[in-house]
Amino acid sequence: GLTAKEQLDPFVLIKDEVSEVTDRLRSMVVAEVPELTSAAGYFFRAGAEGKRTCPTVLLLMASAISMGIADGLENKPRARHMHLAEITEMIHISSLIHDDVLDDADTRRGMDSLNFKVGKKFAVLAGDFLLFRAFSAAVSLDNTEVVSLLATAVNNLVTGELMQMSITPAQRCSMDYYLQKTYYKTAALISNSCKAIAVLAEQTTEVQALAYQYGRHLGIVTAPILFAMEEFPEVHEIVEQGFDDPLNVKTVCIASVFF
């Protein structure tokens, strides 16, 4: 039995199913070439899986919207929801692997990044492979709307990354630009996947839209520096100077706390 505290912990509630998802992920990344299998499975190894927030959120969403509906139904959607959790996690990991190549990052999740471990070329291919595997699994769900939602999410991830790379000084100070880029980079995958959960559960368009909004709000982070800029105009000047000077970092951090 669970203690009272554990019953309130979302990660504990869904723990067994998430570890089932993790096991399945390991078997889904098996490739013809052993080097590709180990590269693609790098972040699915025991101890390397991270917090698994995506599958946890999606399975909790699935529970919330299926309450009282799935009971007694012949065609229970839970297995399909678990597949969607696997697919979303694979897309998420592939985006992190490509991100670390683009950022030349040596670490991820407190360990070596995949590019650091196996080199850029292998890392790019492992990310591609995961993305392809994710979409193959999505096609097996036999629901074109779900495939389309996931395609939108990947399109948004790429767009968000490009918006970040090509930002102009004026765009850097724009709340609209920041929110759009942040939505694409950090919220589009979870919001579209939450909606896909509702679609798979054959929920109404109203519930689908609510699921989408839940994911959107969860994914978008706050914009402390932009709010600070609204409050303290002098922060604007510092942001334009950039953050090579550690004093600028310090000043903006303090301003963000007090905005």
Please report, as ranges, the residues that interact with Mg ion according to CB under 5 A: 99, 103
Least Å from the CB of residue 97 to ligand FPP: 7
Residue 107 backbone dihedrals phi, psi, to 5 degrees:
-130, 155
Nearer to Mg ion, 12 or 105 (CB): 105
The gap between the terminal CA atoms of the chain, to the nearest Å, is 46
Residue type at 65 in one-letter notation: I
**CB contact at 8 A, 146 and 192:** no
**CB contact at 8 A, 182 and 220:** yes
Burial class (CB in 10 A: 0-12, 13-18, 19+), 122: buried
Residue appearing with tokens 């969860």:
218
**Chosen from Mg ion, ligand FPP, none, partner binding at 158 (C-beta under 5 to 8 Å by type):** ligand FPP
> Applying CB under 6 A, does 181 fall inside the site for ligand FPP?
no
Rounded Cα gap, residues 55 and 59, in angstroms: 6
Structure tokens at 98: 């490509």
Member of 157, 187, 188, 194 binding ligand FPP (CB under 6 A): 157
> Applying CB under 6 A, does 91 fall inside the site for ligand FPP?
yes
Nearer to Mg ion, 73 or 102 (CB): 102
**Chosen from Mg ion, ligand FPP, none, partner binding at 197 (C-beta under 5 to 8 Å by type):** none
Residue type at 206 in one-letter notation: E
Nearer to Mg ion, 103 or 237 (CB): 103
Neighbours of 203 (CB within 10 A): 19
Nearer to Mg ion, 30 or 102 (CB): 102
Member of 52, 80, 185, 195 binding ligand FPP (CB under 6 A): 185
Query: Where do contacts with ligand FPP occur on this chain (CB under 6 A)?
Result: 91, 94-95, 98-99, 102-103, 105, 127, 131, 154, 157-158, 161, 185-186
